[in-house]
Structure 1
Amino acid sequence: QEPAFDKLTVGNPTPMRGEFFTSFWGNSTSDLDVRDLLHGYNLVFWDSEEGLFREDPSVVSGIVAVESDEGDRSFTLILQDDLKYSDGTAINAWDYAFSFLFSISPEVSEIGGTPRRMEQFQGYDEYVAGTAKTLSGIRVTSNNTIVITIRHEYLPFFYEMGLLSCNPYPISVIAPGVTVRDDGDGIYLANADETVQEPVYTAELLKKTILDPENGYLSHPSVVSGPYTLTSWDGETAEFAINPYYKGNQNGEKPTIQTLYYTQSSNETQIEDLVAGKFDLLNKVARQDNIMDGVSRINDENISFTTYPRIGLSYISFACERNTVSSEAVRQAIAWCLNREQLVEDYTGNYGLLVDGYYGIGQWMYGLVMGTTAPPIDPPENENDRAAMEEYNEAMAAFQELTLDNLTSYTVDTEKAAELLDQDGWTINDEGLREKDGVVLDLKMIYPAGNNISEYLDKNFLSNLEQVGIRLTVEEVPMNELLSRWYQQEERDEDMIYLASNFDLIFDPSAYFSADGTWAYTSLADDILYAEAVAMRSTEPGDVLTYVQHWVAFQERFNQILPMIPIYSNIYFDFYTRYLQNYNIDQNATWGEAIVPAFLSDVVEEPEEAEGEMVAD
């Protein structure tokens, strides 16, 4: 049945950067939405009901896991034979092999990207070091069969099946003239034409095929595997059309809305624009005034809303490579000067919660610790089995002992801040500013343009800093420029960055640490924090209690050393036309996923219960 309407315009307050290929050049939340529209057929998917990764049945017809004597674990995946790109060409095991090889290639780094670290794969270290020709941990044994081996040193891994995550990418577009081979020892890249002596796969080739501003695959991916194709991108608005060769997601669902438009919405006018028909869907509305405005119009306008807790947070990140904020005492002192409670109340109202660590209120770990999610253990069938009941009660008691009460909740305490600075050797100079060894605490912070957070910082932060001898200049910066500095793609002269991030389904902070224990983006080196991140990921799959215990320990260390000042996590609201049906954003990671089973209809299905539930103080 044809849908009643054929187009939908989506708005989000965060602008796109045009990084629609991978996260290697940045990971803006709006670009992530686009990637979910364009790139599909991942080998695995997140089963939210079970809380684990599974093979995608639309992609994988069978999977077998075998463990070697050394403890390495090999997964043999048999692929479906009806997978196609948007141009009709077949997708097979060689496409996934290319994606793995591209993702770890040093050529990506040479053109400004950050390759994936895949230490989990057998032979990875030797391959990236250049001492091995092949990536031995991945084999292609037939066009539809790929074998992936996880080395025993990386096991156990809590999200084990998530290590197999991979989308297919077209080698003919990204690396023309290159092919993937497997001579029996693992996969490797080679020239398609064996008579050509010089390697075709070079940084120069990728710079042309990926980074070209007009046709590069980063901003204009032409051949894709997801539910939609990109038909235009002008730097502000992206347009999409249904991919006719898309066979469906893990549930067999295909899109029906023929054309999508995606662009930035203004925080100042977004609700008015929705009511006026400029937008059909507003994603991730977070500001209190907009939420209240939107909710107040539900009965009078043809709009609905859905709420969902954020799996991320807002924070102020420190550039710890700078001498001004490299000291833990300085970072703590700054935190004691921020009136986080008032800022959260003013900015998010009833829709945000103060957080004291690196977490979001939508994360399942947070729910378990706070007691809003039941522990994943069932009582014994036989209540008279004393041994079983004792074991059950002990397990329940262990879950009930989980707490975030040991985290310091930084409130305004300028005396505490001054004391920390005094103890760390920072004295007041002639200008009334703190100084130590020639370093003056005359700081700079940047925040995203269009975000009105500055007015809240003025009254909740700057004057308190002045009282203890710290001057902070706050500067508005375009989001693209801010993210470039956050990702350290250019030299930073700011000491702090106000930002917000959402987490991946695989919560593995260790992936963002270098070998010496330095956390990327913050440039803070801490062996204890890194060790807790590794302990978290190294938990046996299914051992939820141990994983969350390490998660709590990670939060406690983070809360002490403060690479960032956590501020709030919040409830997101998506407002949309009531003609948009089956849009279950609360059951999906992005609107790009949620839009696939959704449809437009002039027969409005009234929900039995309210779609959104308000959050009290």
Structure 2
Amino acid sequence: MKRLAILLVVLTLTAAACASSSDGEGTNATTTTAGESGGGGDSTTTAPPTTTTPPTAEDAGGTLTIGLFQEPDNLNPFLAVQTASRIIRDLVLEGLVDADPDGNYVPELAEVPSVEAGTISQDGLTVTYKLAEGVTWSDGEPFTSRDVQFTWESVMDDANAVNSRNGYDKIVSIETPDDLTAVVTYSELFAPALSLFSIPEAILPAHELEGESFSEAAFNRLPEGTGPYMVTEWNSGQSIILDANPNYRVPDRPLIDRLIFKILPDQNAGIAQMRTGDIDVFWNIDTGVIDQFQSMEGVNIQVTPSSNIEYLGLNLSADSEPGNPHFAFSDPNVRAALAMAIDRTPIIENLLFGLSEAADSPIGLGWAAPQGLSNPAYDPAGAMALLEESGWVDTNGDGIREKDGKTLTLEISTPAGQQVRELTEQVLQEQFKAVGIELVINNVPAATLFGSWEENGKLKRGDFDIAMDTWGADLDPDAFLSTLFRSDQIPQESNAGEGWNFFRLQNDTLDAAIDAGRSTLDINARKDAYRTVVEEVLAAGVYIPLYKRSKLDAFSATVSGYAPNPWQEFTWNAEDWTVDK
């Protein structure tokens, strides 16, 4: 019954979120609470987005400990890709605008520009940001329009190996007529302009980073920011400590004095430490262990719908260079056979307890999520026929197909220590074996899988066959689609590893559709363009969607003020949290 209760919560939230993305209706804020019914039955309660009584300065103080089973690689928003990094850096660094739970742009360091307000020109080529007054960096230095200008200059500096320059490379100039005005001029219409300098990125402090390259900057671990907290200590492999920013512009915020992000080895450590009270919050509960959190007295589970999709990513190259074809995946028949060999039902029903549903698109939520798509049918016989057609046959009777003296043995990697993923790999291992494909599991730390080019990250360097991962679009999907799938975003020697198209996919139709989506303000035309992008990605067979992922986070009953936001990480409003002292 507990599983059914949470399933109903998830479905309710997902429906609400989908509605909000299309017609502006709000998302329900739902918390599932375990162990409160006197008769030992299930208890599922719907809570308001914040505490019933708004927190005040009288509630302030205390220390909150949050468990993370991944350690961020760094906190620079233009270098890091791990969710763990964003969870922490969003408390320290801020963008010009932000996203509320209903999927609307809202002010953060600046007013939200608009044509109506005269801050976006009629042709869309000029965007003027009116910056908030009285904002300072955590060291007391004033935040000014120079910081906006400097952020753009830093992203465009070839010395900085940023994740992507998409959109920033369309900017011709940023003028700063005064300290509180930044005028951004584009060479051509760039529809997702409001996502630049903001979600999921941020403004950088010119006074701290001027003259430094990103690769050597102390900022990457101890950044100065304008947010409610500042990083004061980073003990590698143990903890990252944030203290309240004494120069934060919002009176009486944050309410909690100190946040300790405790680095844990895996989900089991999170279970044990939530049970003993050594941590107050645990990030990203693995669905396979949700029952254990449910059984804990005084622990609430926040369920938040998200755009995240669990997927398999296939490498088309033998290494980082797209001109060196992968021995198996260069053949579209092999890619198609892999998709046809997958039965998602045992994954969703047995491993996820029915708390999810099959995904059929890289865009899982929001106005751009395409409707009416479907995955290839589960068809082992069809998969075997495709492999036979391509010359992959089992000549020695060992159950593994061979061709030209090479066996059809593929390696799969995902961040280590995540139970559902590890069990999913075992399910896929059996399903692939049934069609003559050997799947070898080689899981590694997240920092190894997602490491930078200089760090010899497996994805960046093309040192993998199949990666299992979760990624999702932000409020505007352009940056997500561009960074992950555009042909010019393939990390390789010639671009010093820039970009995250680790599939090594090259597709002119896809590239043109991305360009079309960013070059019009017509929302329906943008939807059509992004549908074309998705269809091309799926037809290429390099991205195999598995299932939709809601965010499941555990909070001690001593913590108040948290609320779900599909477009943010769970710490998005941590300045409003309180903890019983």
Q: TM-score, normalising length from structure 2?
A: 0.77
Letter of the 2:156 partner, please give it. I
Which of 183, 190, 196 is 1:147 aligned to? 183
Give 1:598's aligned residue: 577
**Residues of 2 paired with 1:60 and 1:311: CA distance?**
23
Unmatched 5+ residue regions in structure 1? Answer: 124-136, 179-200, 211-215, 370-402, 603-617
**Residues of 2 paired with 1:271 and 1:558: CA distance?**
38
Q: Give deviations 1:93-142, integer Å, cap 9, x for gaps.
A: 11111111101210013xxx43523356343xxxxxxxxxxxxx211222
CA shift at 1:330, angstroms?
0.9
Letter of the 2:219 partner, please give it. Y
**Residues of 1 paired with 2:300 and 2:489: CA distance?**
46
Unmatched 5+ residue regions in structure 2? Answer: 1-56, 319-325, 491-499
Are residues 587 and 306 of structure 1, via their aligned partners in 2, closer, same or farther at CA, if it must alter by over 3 Å?
Answer: same
Give 2:551's aligned residue: 572
Q: Identity of aligned pairs, percent?
A: 22
Letter of the 1:556 partner, please give it. E
**Residues of 1 paired with 2:104 and 2:512: CA distance?**
24
Whether 2:482 is the aligned partner of 1:510: answer: yes
Which of 348, 351, 356 is 1:352 aligned to? 356
Matched position secondary structure for 1:525? coil
Q: Give deviations 1:322-355, integer Å, cap 9, x for gaps.
A: 3221222111111222232212222211222111
Give 1:452's aligned residue: 419
**Residues of 2 paired with 1:338 and 1:587: CA distance?**
28
Q: Is the 8 A contact 1:17 1:235 kept in 2?
A: no
Matched position secondary structure for 1:231? strand
Letter of the 1:224 partner, please give it. G
Alignment of 1:365-514 (within 5 A): 365-366=368-369, 403-404=371-372, 406-411=373-378, 413-430=379-396, 433-436=400-403, 440-453=407-420, 456-457=423-424, 459-484=426-451, 491-508=461-478, 509-514=481-486
Whether 2:310 is the aligned partner of 1:311: answer: no
Are residues 106 and 32 of structure 1, via their aligned partners in 2, closer, same or farther at CA, if it must alter by over 3 Å?
Answer: same
Q: Give deviations 1:472-511, integer Å, cap 9, x for gaps.
A: 2111212211112896576333211122223323211124
**Residues of 2 paired with 1:586 and 1:115: CA distance?**
25
**Residues of 2 paired with 1:316 and 1:253: CA distance?**
45
**Aligned residues between the structures:** 496
**Residues of 1 paired with 2:361 and 2:527: CA distance?**
14
**Residues of 2 paired with 1:334 and 1:77: CA distance?**
48
Are residues 454 and 309 of structure 1, via their aligned partners in 2, closer, same or farther at CA, if it must alter by over 3 Å?
Answer: closer
CA shift at 1:583, angstroms?
0.8
Are residues 511 and 588 of structure 1, via their aligned partners in 2, closer, same or farther at CA, if it must alter by over 3 Å?
Answer: closer
Give 2:494's aligned residue: none
Q: Is the 8 A contact 2:101 2:565 kept in 1?
A: no
Q: Give deviations 1:286-340, integer Å, cap 9, x for gaps.
A: 323x22222233xxx2222321113201111111113221222111111222232
**Residues of 2 paired with 1:438 and 1:147: CA distance?**
61
Are residues 529 and 347 of structure 1, via their aligned partners in 2, closer, same or farther at CA, if it must alter by over 3 Å?
Answer: farther
Matched position secondary structure for 1:420? helix
Are residues 220 and 344 of structure 1, via their aligned partners in 2, closer, same or farther at CA, if it must alter by over 3 Å?
Answer: same
Matched position secondary structure for 1:275? helix
CA shift at 1:226, angstroms?
1.4
Alignment of 1:603-614 (within 5 A): none
**Residues of 2 paired with 1:522 and 1:474: CA distance?**
19
Letter of the 1:527 partner, please give it. D
Which of 72, 75, 78 is 2:127 aligned to? 75
RMSD over aligned Cα, in angstroms?
A: 3.0
Matched position secondary structure for 2:549? strand
Between stretches 31-40 and 506-515, larger displacement belongs to 506-515
Q: Give deviations 1:552-592, integer Å, cap 9, x for gaps.
A: 44333333222122111133222212221221134661122
**Residues of 2 paired with 1:517 and 1:586: CA distance?**
29
Which of 569, 579, 582 is 2:561 aligned to? 582
Letter of the 2:71 partner, please give it. M
Letter of the 2:315 partner, please give it. A
Give 1:114's aligned residue: 163
Q: Is the 8 A contact 1:72 1:151 kept in 2?
A: no
CA shift at 1:22, angstroms?
1.7
Are residues 283 and 119 of structure 1, via their aligned partners in 2, closer, same or farther at CA, if it must alter by over 3 Å?
Answer: closer
Q: Is the 8 A contact 2:128 2:184 kept in 1?
A: yes
**Residues of 2 paired with 1:173 and 1:313: CA distance?**
36
Give 2:245's aligned residue: 243
Q: Give deviations 1:402-444, integer Å, cap 9, x for gaps.
A: x32x423442x22111111223343445466434456542221
Give 2:206's aligned residue: 171
Between stretches 233-242 and 478-487, larger displacement belongs to 478-487
Are residues 594 and 119 of structure 1, via their aligned partners in 2, closer, same or farther at CA, if it must alter by over 3 Å?
Answer: closer
**Residues of 2 paired with 1:354 and 1:142: CA distance?**
51
Whether 2:43 is the aligned partner of 1:43: answer: no
**Residues of 2 paired with 1:515 and 1:408: CA distance?**
24
Give 1:333's aligned residue: 337
Letter of the 2:549 partner, please give it. N
Are residues 78 and 492 of structure 1, via their aligned partners in 2, closer, same or farther at CA, if it must alter by over 3 Å?
Answer: closer
Q: Give deviations 1:72-91, integer Å, cap 9, x for gaps.
A: 62123332331101111111
Matched position secondary structure for 1:354? coil
Are residues 435 and 504 of structure 1, via their aligned partners in 2, closer, same or farther at CA, if it must alter by over 3 Å?
Answer: same
Are residues 530 and 20 of structure 1, via their aligned partners in 2, closer, same or farther at CA, if it must alter by over 3 Å?
Answer: same
**Residues of 2 paired with 1:35 and 1:103: CA distance?**
18
Larger radius of gyration: 1
Are residues 74 and 363 of structure 1, via their aligned partners in 2, closer, same or farther at CA, if it must alter by over 3 Å?
Answer: closer
CA shift at 1:516, angstroms?
5.3
Whether 2:336 is the aligned partner of 1:284: answer: no
**Residues of 2 paired with 1:320 and 1:568: CA distance?**
22
Q: TM-score, normalising length from structure 1?
A: 0.73
Q: Is the 8 A contact 1:253 1:597 kept in 2?
A: no
Between stretches 317-326 and 53-62, larger displacement belongs to 53-62
**Residues of 2 paired with 1:439 and 1:87: CA distance?**
60
CA shift at 1:365, angstroms?
4.4
**Residues of 1 paired with 2:181 and 2:425: CA distance?**
59
Give 1:105's aligned residue: 157
Q: Is the 8 A contact 2:341 2:380 kept in 1?
A: yes
Letter of the 1:8 partner, please give it. L
Q: Is the 8 A contact 2:113 2:128 kept in 1?
A: no
Are residues 487 and 538 of structure 1, via their aligned partners in 2, closer, same or farther at CA, if it must alter by over 3 Å?
Answer: farther
Matched position secondary structure for 1:448? coil
Q: Give deviations 1:215-242, integer Å, cap 9, x for gaps.
A: x221222x22211010111123111001
Whether 2:195 is the aligned partner of 1:162: answer: yes
Q: Is the 8 A contact 2:487 2:501 kept in 1?
A: no
Q: Is the 8 A contact 1:59 1:83 kept in 2?
A: no
Whether 2:257 is the aligned partner of 1:258: answer: yes
**Residues of 2 paired with 1:512 and 1:490: CA distance?**
12
Give 1:84's aligned residue: 136
